[in-house]
Structure 1
């Protein structure tokens, strides 16, 4: 299956513009003293540098190096087109223009070398990613160990001091004779009323004396 060849207006326009620019560069180089094949080499050098810079911009993205040489080649091409439009007498080319034309080969060689051999974005080796910091497990605080309480030192119990023996009280306290007489009257009255001898508790209650004293009185009344 064959494809029909159709003329492209953009391609035709590019060929025409390239041919005109090529002719203007040739005429300017020839007027600046570059005769023969050298005059034909100048347009090729300028256009190649322009294409190389533009291709670098398309493939590697915007960069200072590519933009710099693209503008230099563009100024050289536009300058030649404007200079050959009748604004410059090609029969009397100024000295500064002859110097620029003569220095162009070295300038174009340097620009082409830098564009061809400088590292591109694809050639640059990306820096290795920084190693991630290892995740540290949360530190669990160790249980506080309480020191065992010190055992109390045995305390020496001082020997109990011997307390002096209390004098043994007499088993039968002395009872006044008057109290005995009164107790006898009470006992006689109780026997007369009740017909039975009085007991110790009743005697103590009637006399209002302590139990020990009441026992002593009862012993004397018996």
Structure 2
């Protein structure tokens, strides 16, 4: 019985080897060694030679994360290519095309100046403030073509408040704090639901006033009834 239990436990935990992951580990180890050898040949001894491949790999990761985020792709591509050239150049240089016992002066200069370049790139990629993509509150937000489905004829642009509210004669003095008409509240609720579906956030009073085309006091009264 104990042997059967152990065999059953072994069958429930299969060992899977991902060939892509193994290949990535091998490639990273070789590139790491090439960068270390080049830095050591350029006069960077001890722990400094080991820090160079770490710096190059971290800059690659930071640039790739910026590209995946979809913000400031120009900066992400720029620093990704810089780190890729540094890594690829070390791999090619250590393939017998360069005498590591007699490294040229220009290569020593590039290796010695790499920490400043990597620090600048990592700082800009990590702490750079991406450009805001929020639209002004006074203008209606265009429908998104990426996430939201195309509206059906019944879900087309809702009519304005002028088509819902009956025509009223202008009155002198401050407006009375009467509640909003039910038809206008229903229209505002539809606009708020469409805004929440498209952006993932609740609509604010300024945007609601701009979408309905009503005065701010009336928009505030409608907003209180929507909450």
| More helix as a share of residues | 2
CA distance in 2 between counterparts of 1:75 and 1:22 reads 14
Distance 1:85 1:131, change over 3 A: closer
Cα RMSD (Å):
2.5
Matched, 1:52 2:65: no
Q: Give the counterpart of 1:77 among 55, 63, 87.
A: 87
Alignment of 1:7-46 (within 5 A): 7-46=17-56
Q: 5+ residue gaps in structure 2?
A: 1-8, 141-159, 166-227
Q: Give the counterpart of 1:127 among 117, 135, 139.
A: 135
Q: Secondary structure at the match of 1:85?
A: helix
Q: 5+ residue gaps in structure 1?
A: 138-222
Please tell me whether Structure 1 or Structure 2 has the larger radius of gyration of its CA atoms. Answer: 1
Matched, 1:97 2:145: no
CA distance in 2 between counterparts of 1:89 and 1:4 reads 48
How many positions carry a matched residue from both structures?
A: 136
Q: Secondary structure at the match of 1:29?
A: helix
Answer yes or no: is the 8 Å Cα contact 2:72–2:130 preserved in 1: no
Q: TM-score, normalised by structure 1?
A: 0.56
Answer yes or no: is the 8 Å Cα contact 1:28–1:80 preserved in 2: yes
Alignment of 1:1-222 (within 5 A): 3-60=13-70, 63-120=73-130, 124=132, 126-131=134-139
Answer yes or no: is the 8 Å Cα contact 1:26–1:40 preserved in 2: yes
Q: TM-score, normalised by structure 2?
A: 0.55
